[in-house]
Amino acid sequence: MAYKDLREFITDLESKGLLKRITQEVDAYLEITEITDRVSKMEGSRNVALLFENVKGYDMPVLMNAFGSYERMAMALGVEKLDDIADEIREILKLPYISLQNKMNLVSLIPLAKKAINFPKYVKNAPCQEVVMEEPDLDRIPILTCWPKDGGPFVTLPLVFTKNPKTGKRNVGMYRLQKYDSRTTGMHWHIHKNGAENFRDTKAAGGERIEAAVAIGTDPVLTYAATAPLPRDIDEMVFAGFLRHKSVEMVKCKTVDLEVPAHAEIILEGYVGTDEARREGPFG
């Protein structure tokens, strides 16, 4: 099944006994990750997803270990077992240039394309924009410090959206974000990643900044799609539509020229300066 959002996935996990709610107060500094580390190494029914509902100093819950077993990963992708989807993924990776800019290239590949391709659906109203912070404040989000010698708190599962300034093609990658202060994070994209290429192309064109948006708490297929090592011309949101057998609903950002998943829990909008660099890490 295709989950509409992360909340549906949580409900399904709990109904199957694969998630435990933690109501006791816990700290985002080291404690949540220490508990999760122990649980994720357990075997059988003791290895469960954890929903920390009472995080010290915050009014947001934290979901951990959601993908920490083969069973939960198969649920996330909507299959009985992970092998079920492998052959389909191999087939879609044969399709060239799967992106909004190359729809016509797919004509000769129908019926495979008709079965596989679900382009994003763009909506005007979205749950992710029901509450908008006019003065953004990262201090209100329970960003975890994971290990004692880490350089600070890190967002470790963000979907980072950028566009290439030359082609207009979207990239969605998972690049960790170190929180520096209430308005600033680092952007740790490796030099071989498409996000970093978009950054370099923006700088080469004389741009002083590249717009970026970050989605946190998306439906599990979107989270997986952002990590998938896809060929450069395959749009991650199209790939997610293939896995879900249903289009991903997306909405235009409020302050940047990007679209983001409509059902994400949190959206951060901002930019990365092309001439600004800071020390990042260590992490892990």
With the CA atoms of 121, 125, 126 and 132 taken in that order, what torsion angle do they form, in degrees rounded to the nearest 10?
140
Asked if residue 267 and residue 199 are part of one domain, the reply reads: yes
Asked if residue 24 and residue 144 are part of one domain, the reply reads: no
pLDDT digits (tens, 9 = 90+) for 148-198: 999 999 999 999 999 999 999 999 999 999 999 999 999 999 899 999 999
Cα→Cα distances 43→69, 88, 113, Å: 9, 30, 40
Asked if residue 268 and residue 134 are part of one domain, the reply reads: yes
The reported pTM is: 0.91
What pLDDT band is residue 273 in, cutting at 50, 70 and 90? very high
Mean pLDDT of 272-283: 95
Asked if residue 153 and residue 36 are part of one domain, the reply reads: no
Identify the pLDDT of residue 86: 77
Identify the pLDDT of residue 106: 46
Residues 212 and 160 sit within 8 Å (Cβ to Cβ): yes
**Number of domains the chain is built from:** 2
- On whether residue 284 sits in a domain, the answer given is no
- On whether residue 227 sits in a domain, the answer given is yes
Identify the pLDDT of residue 118: 84
Residue 78 tokens read as: 């909507």
Mean pLDDT of 222-232: 91
Asked if residue 24 and residue 161 are part of one domain, the reply reads: no
Residues 81 and 93 sit within 8 Å (Cβ to Cβ): no
Asked if residue 35 and residue 163 are part of one domain, the reply reads: no
pLDDT digits (tens, 9 = 90+) for 7-23: 999 999 999 999 999 99
pLDDT digits (tens, 9 = 90+) for 95-133: 554 454 555 454 445 455 555 678 999 999 999 999 999
Residues 186 and 177 sit within 8 Å (Cβ to Cβ): yes
Tokens 């924009």 sit on residue:
129
Asked if residue 137 and residue 49 are part of one domain, the reply reads: no
Domain containing residue 216: CATH number:
2.30.110
Identify the pLDDT of residue 89: 72
- On whether residue 105 sits in a domain, the answer given is no
Mean pLDDT of 235-260: 95
Please name the residues in contact with 105: beta carbons below 8 A apart, sequence gap of 6 or more. 96, 97
Beta strand segments in the chain, E: 19-22, 49-52, 62-64, 121-123, 154-155, 159-163, 170-173, 177-181, 184-185, 209-216, 249-252, 259-261, 266-273
Enclosing domain of residue 169: 118-273
Task: Show the DSSP H helices in the chain as ranges.
Answer: 6-15, 31-40, 70-77, 83-92, 112-116, 194-204, 220-227, 236-244
How open is the CA angle 212-249-83, to the nearest 5 degrees? Answer: 95
- On whether residue 98 sits in a domain, the answer given is no
- On whether residue 104 sits in a domain, the answer given is no
pLDDT digits (tens, 9 = 90+) for 34-80: 999 999 999 999 999 999 999 999 999 999 999 999 999 999 999 88
